[in-house]
Structure formats: C-alpha cells, structure tokens
Amino acid sequence: MKTLEKGNKKLLNAWAFYDWANSVYSLVISTAVFPIYYSSMTASFANIEGNIEFLGTHWNPTTLYDYTLSFSFLIVAFISPILSGIADYTGNKLKFLKFFCLLGSLSVMSLFFFKDEASLWVAIVFTITASIGFWGSIVFYNAYLPEIAHPEQQDSVSAKGFIYGYAGSVILMIISLVLVQTSVFGLLDEAYGSRITFVLVGLWWLGFAQITYRRLPNNVYGHKPDKDYIWKGFRELKKVTKELSEYRELKRFLISFFFFSVGVQTIVLMAGIFGSEELGLPTTNLILTIMLVQIVAIAGAYLFSRLSKKFGNLTALKVTLVIWGGVCFLAFMLDKNQENVDKYFYILGGVLGLVLGATQSLSRSTYSKLLPETEDHATYFSFYDVTEKIAIVLGMFVFGLLISITKSMQWSVLFLAIFFLVALIVLYTIRGNKYVR
C-alpha cells in the first residue's frame, strides 16, 4: 500500500482508530465486567474469613487483584524504555505495536478459561500479560503522534483518538451487558456470558487494530541497524535520558503530568469501589455511571480540544485540573445516608467524564508538542508512559494508606486534591513554545 504523507487525513484517522480497537480493554476488562466477574467468582470459593488461596498463601481477593495490576505496571515501567530505545534505533515501532497488541488481545481471550478455584492462576497470569500488552502497545502507539500529525493537528487528532475509543468501548459494553444480563439470551448462565465477553474484547481489539496497521508507516527515518541493535538500543535510551534532563519545559511538564496522573488514575481505578463500598450503590447504578463517564468524555475531549485551539494547551489543562480538584471535594461531600445519593453520584460521574477525556487527550498532545526535533519518539514517549505507571502505583499506595488510617475513602479522595494543586502550580512555571501556550 502507498505510504501516506504526514498530516494525511486517512493516516490520521487510521492512527486514531487504534483507540477504537484497544479502549474496550480499559472499559470492559479494567473497569467494568471483569472486576465484577472476578469479585463474584472469588467470593464463591473464599473461606469463612473471605480470603482465597494462591501460591500457598491466603489473600484478600481485592488485595491480590491490586497487587497483580501493580506488578504488571512495574514490568511495563521497566521494559518500555529499553524496548523503545531498540525500536527507535531499528525503526520498528510498528512491529512492537503489533507484538504487544497480540499479547494483550490473546491474554484477554484466555480469561475465558477462568471459571473456578482451580483456574484462579488463569485470572492472575493473564491479567498481568493483558495489562502488559495494553500498556506496552500504548507506548508505541502514542509515539506515532508526532510522526503522523503536524503540531497544529495534534490536539484534535489526539482528541479524535480518545473520542473513537470512548465510542467503541461503549458499543461493546452495551453488547456485553446484553450477553451478561440475558445469560446469553437464556441459552447459558450469567458467568458464561461474562466469559464470552472476554473473548469478544480480544477479537475486537485485534481485529480493528488491522485497520491501523494497514496505514501506519514503519521505519519513517529509514534506519539501517547494525547487528548489535540491542546494545545500540541501550545507547539510544542513554542518549534520550541525558537530553530529557536538558529540556526544562519538557521536564517540568513530566513533573506536572506525574502529579495529576496520581489523582486522575487513582480516581478512575477506585471510582467503582468508592461507589460500591463507601456509598453502598448497587452494581447496576455503578455500571450506568461508568457508561455515563464514557459518553460525557466524548464531549469533553472534543470541547477541550477546541478550547486548547483558542486559548492554548496549558490554559485548557489548567482548567481541567481545577475541575478535578472540584471532583475531589464533591466526592468528599457525598454520604451513603444522603437522600438521592445515587443521583449525586451520576452528577459526579458526568463531571468526571467531562475532564477525563480532556485531560488524557491534552496531556498526550501537549507532551508531543514539547518534544525537541528528534527521531527517538518511542523512547521519549516511554518516559511519558513510565511517569504515568509510577504515578498509578503511588496513587494506589497513598489511597490505601489513607483508608487504613482514616477508615474512610472520603478523606482519601479529598487528599488527592493536593496532587492536582501541585500539578497546577508546576504548570504555571512552564513557558511553552510556539505550539504550546
């Protein structure tokens, strides 16, 4: 197929379509169906204390799941800079993207075989590899942004990706809910409906990714690597590490990104548990809220991409961080004994959705615009990815620690507002450039 030029509409749409392909993992596997399925399944074979046995040790099921995800994040944080250096040196970002996509999609489909205590290892192992596949592919996917879009296009293209992602994930989520709630139209049980959903997610992810693969270029800069490309990849990583420390604005943006990612990712990961355990909301209300967040996020990503075009990336991001701080205070004010607390939770979900898509799309495009003239985009974006993963681990630790101290999630959520405040202050120290203001 003919190679499309940078900025070509077909190329931009094909790149954005990978969000449509992979975002079903974020919603169905990370947030909605699988966590609920895992919780109900482990409850069926937990002992009288509510613990389950794995590797000869008794675990709280939620703790085991949290540790499993954290372990996967640490693996990605360790390997992505190394593999990105190799990918930049060899010019093979597309091959790495395909590998991680295949790993993630096959792992998700393998979750189908988790059906009892004897197959608990399936849930643990393939949760880890699915997470590695998803987050690993995102590194190389994001790294394409400065190579396929001109700086003035990157805000809208990044937003388009998240819009595609939210729309696609909502469609598959509706299909999943039908399969689960109807027990596959009365033919099988509800648990089997969930397991079929895992297979659908993997097929959706791998299948629609082929559209992206057909258009994305490989080896844009025509690199001709020597045989010792692994060692040369390490040298590439070392070079970018040194360069990164010299770019003041880029370094400060990563610091700000780290602090607001602590807040954003922790809220996203813990929102369902907050609604269930702290507010006592039923599963149906939680799933409806998750769906609402996804739908409103489409509008948020579009709205703030327009605002960034008019007022600048940094200004638009500052607005989102102020709203995120408001989300923390709103969550703190909620109480399970309040009348109509479910409706207040819907409102909170709507506000969260408005800034979720905006923050994610703007942070990606802003980082891309701040990059220097370079051919090492995958390596630079690996630092972006590592920053986010470390932020997630810290956020989950702080959230859990505060729960153990205060015996309440409300104070934990309120404390997250401090991270948004620090991120906002750091953003004000960034001067930007001709593309970022």
Q: Is the pLDDT of residue 312 over 90?
A: no
Please, which residues have CB within 8 angstroms of residue 68's CB and are 6 or more apart in sequence? Answer: 124, 127, 128
Neighbours of 190 (CB within 10 A): 15
Rounded CA separation 27/217 (Å)? 28
pLDDT level of residue 219 (50, 70, 90 thresholds): low
Question: Could you tell me which of 156, 356, 161 has the C-alpha nearest to residue 268?
Answer: 356
Rounded CA separation 271/67 (Å)? 18
> Is the C-alpha dihedral spanning 360, 87, 224, 245 positive or negative?
positive
Please, which residues have CB within 8 angstroms of residue 340's CB and are 6 or more apart in sequence? Answer: none
Residue identified by tokens 């548990």 is 273
- Contact (CB, 8 A) for 172 and 28: yes
Neighbours of 323 (CB within 10 A): 17
User: Hey, what are 100's tokens?
Assistant: 């991680």
pLDDT level of residue 205 (50, 70, 90 thresholds): very high
Query: Which is more confidently placed, 386 or 13?
Result: 13
DSSP letters of 202-224?
A: HHHHHHHHHHHHHH--S-TT---
The model's pTM is: 0.85
Q: Which residues pair with 58 in a beta bridge?
A: 53
Residue 371's region, left for phi above 0, alpha for psi from -120 to 50, else beta, is: beta
Rounded CA separation 71/49 (Å)? 25
Query: Which is more confidently placed, 147 or 164?
Result: 164
Rounded CA separation 201/22 (Å)? 9
What pLDDT is attached to residue 336? Answer: 80
Catalogue all structural domains in the chain, each as residue range(s) with its CATH number.
9-427 (1.20.1250.20)
- Compute the mean pLDDT over every residue in the chain, rounded to the nearest whole number: 86
For the segment 223-245, the average pLDDT, to the nearest whole number, is 64
Task: Give residue-wise pLDDT tens across range 339-362.
Answer: 888 888 889 889 988 898 889 889
Q: Is the pLDDT of residue 121 over 80?
A: yes
Q: Is the pLDDT of residue 1 over 60?
A: no
Cα maximum dimension of the chain: 68
CA atoms within 13 A on the CB side of 37: 30
What pLDDT is attached to residue 435? Answer: 66
Neighbours of 367 (CB within 10 A): 25
What are the Cα distances from residue 271, in Å, to 240, 278, 298, 373?
A: 36, 10, 19, 39
Query: Which of 14-23, 31-40, 122-131, 229-238 is least confident?
Result: 229-238
Burial of 5 (0-12, 13-18, 19+ CB in 10 A): exposed
What are the Cα distances from residue 63, in Å, to 51, 52, 54, 138, 206?
A: 10, 11, 12, 26, 30
Q: Is the pLDDT of residue 235 over 80?
A: no
What are the Cα distances from residue 227, in Å, to 136, 220, 233, 388?
A: 24, 20, 11, 33
Task: Name the DSSP class of 5.
Answer: P
Task: Give residue-wise pLDDT tens across range 55-91.
Answer: 888 888 877 887 888 889 889 888 888 888 777 777 7
For the segment 379-393, the average pLDDT, to the nearest whole number, is 85
